[in-house]
């Protein structure tokens, strides 16, 4: 199916994040905590927790860590996390959408504003930039986990709401509209196919290309957000060119 270029940076970003294993575990533990608070500690009756556990396994989080995170979240004295989002502009008009999970909103917004100010950006009002992004379900599925002929698999996921399927190396990436995210999780469970990662992401409708120097300034701001413990995800509409990728990894 079409759309390869549109989604190709998703896995690149995943590869870059793999280097930050402890940060990934921290994000997953927060997701487990919120899932348990919302729907209880039993994954069989809690789809959000089931998904968080699947993502934890996909990130190679040890089973003991997962169980400990569930038990801790179920403790009545556990920290209460709140999910909040922030929107703003990086230098050169690059749109940035930030998803946070925090136990102290005042600390979080203070930090987010400080990063914008330090790197020449500006914090906007909520809702001001959301129209620049589409919310999509992104399922990263190792081919080895697909237990039926690939053609049959593709037919079934299209019937379940897949709007794009990308075949790349050892993975199939399935893309859905956000409202088809839940049904796709259910369909994959029925098929006994485990994705390595399944998330709702904000995908830019249009990307902006900057020269290398300007783009690197934007990436410094994005890195500052991603290093913050309260930040779960950072989305932006900067075009990550091959030249930029080589600069990042050099």
Whether the per-residue pLDDT at 15 is higher than 70: the answer is no
**What is residue 8's predicted lDDT score, i.e. its pLDDT?**
46
Residue whose tokens read 């994040």? 17
List of long-range contacts for 204-209, beta carbons under 8 Å, 24+ apart = 204/95, 204/132, 204/133, 204/134, 204/235, 204/236, 204/237, 205/132, 205/133, 205/134, 205/237, 206/132, 206/237, 207/237, 207/238, 207/239, 208/92, 208/93, 208/94, 208/237, 208/238, 208/239, 209/239, 209/241
| pLDDT mean over 105-128 | 96
Q: Hey, is 119 helix, strand or coil?
A: coil
* Predicted confidence band of residue 76 (pLDDT cuts 50, 70, 90): confident
**Higher-confidence residue: 123 or 169?**
123
> What does the pLDDT read at residue 4?
40
Banded model confidence at residue 16, pLDDT cuts 50, 70, 90:
low
Average pLDDT, the chain: 90
Contact 175, 3 (CB under 8 A): yes
Model confidence band, residue 44 (pLDDT cutoffs 50, 70, 90):
very high
Quick one: average pLDDT of 80-100?
Answer: 96
- Contact 35/52 with Cβ under 8 angstroms? yes
In the prediction, which pLDDT does 249 show?
58
This prediction's pTM: 0.86
pLDDT at 250 > cutoff 70: no
Residue pLDDT, tens place only, 173-229: 999 999 999 999 999 999 999 999 999 999 999 999 999 899 999 999 999 999 999
């Amino acid at each position: 199916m079409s759309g390869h270029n549109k989604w190709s940076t998703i896995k690149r970003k995943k590869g870059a994040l793999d280097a930050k294993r402890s940060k990934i575990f921290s994000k997953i533990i927060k997701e487990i905590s919120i899932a348990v608070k919302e729907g209880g500690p039993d994954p069989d009756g809690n789809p959000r927790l089931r998904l968080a556990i699947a993502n934890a396994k996909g990130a190679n989080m040890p089973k003991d860590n997962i169980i400990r995170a569930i038990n801790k979240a179920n403790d009545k004295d556990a920290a209460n996390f709140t999910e909040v989002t922030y929107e703003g502009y990086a230098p050169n008009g690059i749109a940035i959408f930030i998803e946070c999970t925090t136990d102290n909103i005042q600390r979080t917004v203070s930090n987010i504003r400080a990063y914008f100010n330090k790197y020449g950006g500006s914090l906007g009002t909520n809702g001001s930039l959301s129209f620049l992004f589409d919310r999509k379900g992104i399922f990263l599925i190792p081919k080895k986990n697909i237990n039926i002929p690939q053609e049959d698999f593709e037919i079934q996921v299209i019937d379940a709401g897949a709007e794009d399927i990308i075949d790349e190396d050892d993975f199939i990436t399935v893309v859905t509209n956000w409202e088809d995210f839940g049904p796709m999780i259910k369909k994959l469970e029925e098929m006994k196919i485990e994705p390595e990662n399944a998330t709702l992401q904000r995908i830019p409708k249009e990307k902006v290309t900057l020269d290398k120097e300007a783009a690197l300034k934007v990436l410094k701001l994005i890195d500052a957000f991603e290093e913050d413990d309260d930040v779960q995800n950072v989305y932006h509409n900067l075009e990550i060119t091959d030249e930029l990728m080589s600069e990042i990894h050099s």
